[in-house]
Amino acid sequence: MVKVFVEGGGDSNTLRTACRKGFSAFFEKAGLKGKMPRVVACGSRQDAYNDFCTALKNGEEAMLLVDAEESVDPSLQGTKDDYEIWKPWEHLAQREGDKWSKPENTTNKQCHLMIQCMESWFLADRDTLKSFFGQGFKENQLPATADSIEAIGKQQVYAALAKATADCKTKAKYGKGEHSFKILEQIEPHKVEEASPWARRCIAVIKEKMGVSSSQP
């Protein structure tokens, strides 16, 4: 069993269940239905890293998926022809607040980054955001569609979602706990893959690990 240790869910069992459900739905729609890894919602990013390391020590097949938190140096990004030469571990080793060491006997393909946070993915599927929030949603408060979602700062993403949803009639202003994993369940992975090379890498590597052809939808 391949386990994917993801950042998210905080300390609440309810939120962790929602986190696990959201990522599982996203991966299923990405083409992994019937050949799913086990998603483990870990809470904090440090807990995700610690749980990943523990799984490795126990001989388990494990992958790590965490926010990048900030922009990733282009020199750490490779081509889609060889996802091993991408260097997420180097980003995490350099980043203040992490300084994580690459565990012994692990590969770069076992580490994946959400750029720069999970909510960055939402910007790739504005139709789902409009449908989810309904009347009062202001799409013009989101960053320009021409902007790379990987280049938009984490706080800018949060602020844009808050402004876009401030006047919604049927739902409250965007709240990470209340809305994030429900939206994750609904967004279209192919749109996220088109907008984010790091997301495309994550899905492609998981498919490879689970024996799913990358040509499958």
Segments forming the whole domain that contains residue 136:
124-175
Q: Are residues 156 and 66 in the same domain?
A: no
Q: Are residues 145 and 60 in the same domain?
A: no
| Residue 215's pLDDT band (cuts 50, 70, 90) | low
Alpha-carbon distance of 78 to 74, in angstroms, equals: 8
| pLDDT tens per residue, range 78-98 | 888 899 999 999 999 999 999
Residue 59 forms part of a structural domain: yes
Q: How far, rounded to the nearest angstrom, does the alpha carbon of residue 17 sit from its chain's CA centroid? A: 16
Q: Are residues 10 and 102 in the same domain?
A: yes
Q: Are residues 89 and 26 in the same domain?
A: yes
Residue 216 forms part of a structural domain: no
Q: Are residues 151 and 170 in the same domain?
A: yes
Residue 86 forms part of a structural domain: yes
Q: Are residues 146 and 54 in the same domain?
A: no
Cα first-last separation, the chain: 22
Residue 129 forms part of a structural domain: yes
| pLDDT tens per residue, range 18-75 | 999 999 999 999 999 999 999 999 999 999 999 999 999 999 999 999 999 999 999 9
Domain count, the chain: 2
The neighbour count for residue 195, using CB atoms within 10 Å, is 19
Residue 138 forms part of a structural domain: yes
Residue 215 forms part of a structural domain: no
pLDDT value of residue 178: 76
CB 21 within 8 A of CB 185: yes
Q: Are residues 188 and 89 in the same domain?
A: yes
Q: What is the pTM of this model?
A: 0.95
CB 198 within 8 A of CB 115: yes
